[in-house]
Structure 1
Amino acid sequence: MTDNDSEFTVTPYTVSGEIDYEKLLEQFGAGRLTDEQIARFPEPVHPLVRRRVFYAERDVDRFLSAATAGERHSIVTGRGPSGAMHLGHIVPLYFAKRLQQQTNALVYIPFSDDEKYFVTDRSLEEIGEQTRENLRDLLAVGFDPDRTRIIVDTADADVIYPLAVAFGAEVTESTFKAAYGESQNIGHSFYPAVQAAHLLLPQLVTGRHPTLVPIGVDQDPHVRVCRDIAAKQRYDVDKPSALLSKFLPSLEGSGKMSSSSDSETAPTIHLSDDRETVFEKIHTHAYSGGQSTVDEHRARGGDPEADVSYQLLHSFFEEDDDRLDRIAREYRNGSLLSGELKGMAATAVASFLDAHQRRRRRLNSLETELRRYQLTEREREHARRRVGHSTFKAMI
């Protein structure tokens, strides 16, 4: 969506400007996440949900009913390996891990390395190397290997491509243009069929059941097209549910955290950043909602809602609601200074990254680690047969 009045753009491939989340809700036709729905999430409800970072939804009640009843349910959350991973990339994965621990959910994590080749100027070799690095960060999150499957499109083409072929016949050019705009090439215009294969794969492997897709609101077109395919009832699958989130802010205080580290005004906090780098980036670059001098701040206070350090704590990095409320109150009355708030955020982020990096260093070889998360041959064949495709064996 591009809104000319407010001058912001939100698509799966471009996010820019001051985003009006209410206009997006109206444009995309999603529902607002309600108090009643939030209360149905397992306790303790994740801060991303209870603080409405996930602020919109599609059919989330069906997923919650299955999760609370102990019935089969799954989560799909993926990664497009366009560069080194940063905080905005990893937050949905840790959210999915929490839900898996709370509800015993199946989790499927597709890596869309082929899509990044279609829509970026990177070579296949560059994308392949980035995929391997991103996979190590994913493995460091610590999903349950017995209930998690990791799919890399080019490596798992034997299952993804037959599914995409089936779903590709369901997506017209007009549907693509309505959801995505103009295509960059024929690979790009085919990609909604591959995304549908990602989102429906858990049901094609294990049978019909509710599936939740927790994503940034910019990725909603993928869900809408997939739901249209599922609604045709040719494959005995439910339409996937979705949780749509606001963006973890860039350090400059607007838009979406970027994979690029080229910006002089808003460097990105990468998962590989050490503690010193995190403190330097936040103290130097994080937009402040405070006043220009200490005396003025003591007298007038600051605005936590405009402050990036507070937003980081609010979104993910401060679990305790009472402590977060106290931080906001003290910032508003001026007793908490902007530098002190930045220190709190930097400490929380750096400690999170320290733990993530320790787990990453303890991993074995990528091939050894991935083996536990791969689809079995039986799962692959089951998914292929569900769309009318079976593997032909070579005749000797």
Structure 2
Amino acid sequence: MTDDEAFTVTPYEVEGDVDYEKLLDEFGADRLTDEQISAFPKPTHPLVRRKVFYAERDVDRFLEAVNTENPHSLVTGRGPSGLMHIGHVFPFYFAKYIQKQTNALVYIPISDDEKYLLKDLPLEKIDGHTRENLRDILAVGFDPDRTRIIVDTADADVVYPLATAFAKEVTQATVDATYGAPPNIGISFYPAVQAVHLLLPQLVDGRHPTLVPIAVDQDPHIRVCRDIASKQRYNVNKPGALLSKFLPSLGGPGKMSSSDDAPSIFLSDDRETVFEKIRQFGFSGGQSSVEAHREQGGDPTIDVSYQFLAYFFEESDDRLDQLAREYRDGSLLSGELKDIAATQIADFLEEHQRRRAEVGSLANELMPYRLTENERSRARKRVGYPTDAVVEW
């Protein structure tokens, strides 16, 4: 929270109109530079070149590994508290893009235990959300030979031993100072579990640069993990981070959320629903009447439909610039801009839903993405645990 308490950004709460510049000062992260952007694989992903990913930690080490074709990995995960919306999915499509361009390892942790600790939901409900979210993640189309999906409760044989080791490195004072007073002791322990998520690629495959493309509210997890990684006994690099701005709510400034009253566009929405939500709820940067808009023009920087296109759904920079120019001079109306955004979002969702419908039995589909027994043993061994999954007494 800033000095004037205008907004709050933590892993568990985002409120107010976020000032991203002030947040950089508060978190101590660095702005992503033009030189760093130019070092990303070509063609540079829109989320990078348009600075939706706007801040970083140790991204140079990752980019050097990419450009010298040395081992590197990405970690980006999901907390299954409900249906996934478009704000949840763009980090996964970004990770897939980097994997395709560079042959990166991608690790996807699913923090079902954290959501149970945070949300007033029964375990059965969390399990249902986990299964549905996994289908959406599988629909993104990761390379199973270069991707591992870890579900905390299902992979407790590797997650818990590592988290126990890392928990000894973190004091309660650090947790309180970083996150505020935790609501229960489970959340006090959870930074150690998050450290497992972020360090697991190195614990399995050896020391190498890891990048975490993640929304800026999750940066506290990165900071705690980097402290743990600095302990020489683990022989790992501090994970780097690529921090993104929030995809705005349909209602205007703020984070799109599936757990509050702000409208969201879910990955399961059909074309008609997408158009209805954007037309009815989409915050407009235009004027109050067609005549006024033709005369005065609109402001694309606050228009949600334009922001959706700029964040993720319009590939062409020239087309995006054209839309902004026409919106400012009044030749493009708010309703027309809404329909352009709705069309592109609906097209994207229909293709995603087509691939999702092709996902078969979840147990069978997940098998190629699970950690192997050898990988589990290697990870446990790195922190001094027996390599066997079950110890014979």
What is the TM-score of this pair, normalised by structure 1? 0.98
Alignment CA distance shift 1:4-1:365 (3 Å)? same
Structure 2: gaps (5+ residues): none
Q: Is the 8 A contact 1:42 1:102 kept in 2?
A: yes
Instruction: Indicate yes or no: 2:324 matched with 1:328.
Output: yes
Amino acid at match of 1:339: G
Q: Is the 8 A contact 2:247 2:255 kept in 1?
A: yes
Secondary structure, aligned partner of 2:335: helix
Structure-to-structure mapping, 1:151-170, within 5 angstroms: 151-170=150-169
Match of 2:252 in 1: 253
Could you tell me how far 1:19 is from its partner in structure 2?
Answer: 0.5
Instruction: Indicate yes or no: 2:11 matched with 1:15.
Output: no
Q: Is the 8 A contact 1:6 1:18 kept in 2?
A: no
- Per-residue CA deviation, residues 38-61 of structure 1 (Å, 9 max, x unaligned), is 000001111110000000000000
Instruction: Indicate yes or no: 2:341 matched with 1:345.
Output: yes
C-alpha separation in 2, matches of 1:139 and 1:255: 28
Amino acid at match of 1:136: R
C-alpha separation in 2, matches of 1:395 and 1:189: 31
Alignment CA distance shift 1:395-1:166 (3 Å)? closer
- Per-residue CA deviation, residues 53-112 of structure 1 (Å, 9 max, x unaligned), is 000000000000001111000000000001110011001000000000001000000000
- The correspondence for 2:294, drawn from 298, 302, 314, is 298
Could you tell me how far 1:3 is from its partner in structure 2?
Answer: 2.6
Q: Is the 8 A contact 1:113 1:128 kept in 2?
A: yes
Match of 1:362 in 2: 358
Structure-to-structure mapping, 1:264-279, within 5 angstroms: 266-279=262-275
Amino acid at match of 1:109: I
C-alpha separation in 2, matches of 1:292 and 1:394: 70
Q: Is the 8 A contact 2:157 2:389 kept in 1?
A: no
Match of 1:243 in 2: 242
Alignment CA distance shift 1:393-1:337 (3 Å)? closer
The alignment-based identity, stated in percent, is 70
Secondary structure, aligned partner of 1:109: strand
Secondary structure, aligned partner of 2:36: helix
C-alpha separation in 2, matches of 1:251 and 1:296: 23
C-alpha separation in 2, matches of 1:295 and 1:185: 56
Could you tell me how far 1:22 is from its partner in structure 2?
Answer: 0.6
C-alpha separation in 2, matches of 1:60 and 1:162: 29
Q: Is the 8 A contact 1:136 1:366 kept in 2?
A: yes
Structure 1: gaps (5+ residues): none
What is the TM-score of this pair, normalised by structure 2? 0.98
C-alpha separation in 1, matches of 2:304 and 2:281: 10
C-alpha separation in 1, matches of 2:52 and 2:254: 14
Q: Is the 8 A contact 2:203 2:378 kept in 1?
A: yes
Secondary structure, aligned partner of 1:372: helix
Secondary structure, aligned partner of 1:198: helix
Could you tell me how far 1:120 is from its partner in structure 2?
Answer: 1.0
Match of 2:376 in 1: 380
Match of 1:103 in 2: 102
C-alpha separation in 1, matches of 2:333 and 2:34: 33
Q: Is the 8 A contact 1:282 1:309 kept in 2?
A: yes
C-alpha separation in 1, matches of 2:118 and 2:72: 32
Alignment CA distance shift 1:296-1:157 (3 Å)? same
C-alpha separation in 2, matches of 1:253 and 1:81: 24
Instruction: Indicate yes or no: 2:218 matched with 1:222.
Output: no
Q: Is the 8 A contact 2:195 2:224 kept in 1?
A: yes
Q: Is the 8 A contact 1:214 1:245 kept in 2?
A: yes
Could you tell me how far 1:213 is from its partner in structure 2?
Answer: 0.2
C-alpha separation in 2, matches of 1:65 and 1:121: 44
RMSD over aligned Cα atoms: 1.0
Structure 1 runs of 4+ aligned residues shifted over 2 Å read: 391-396
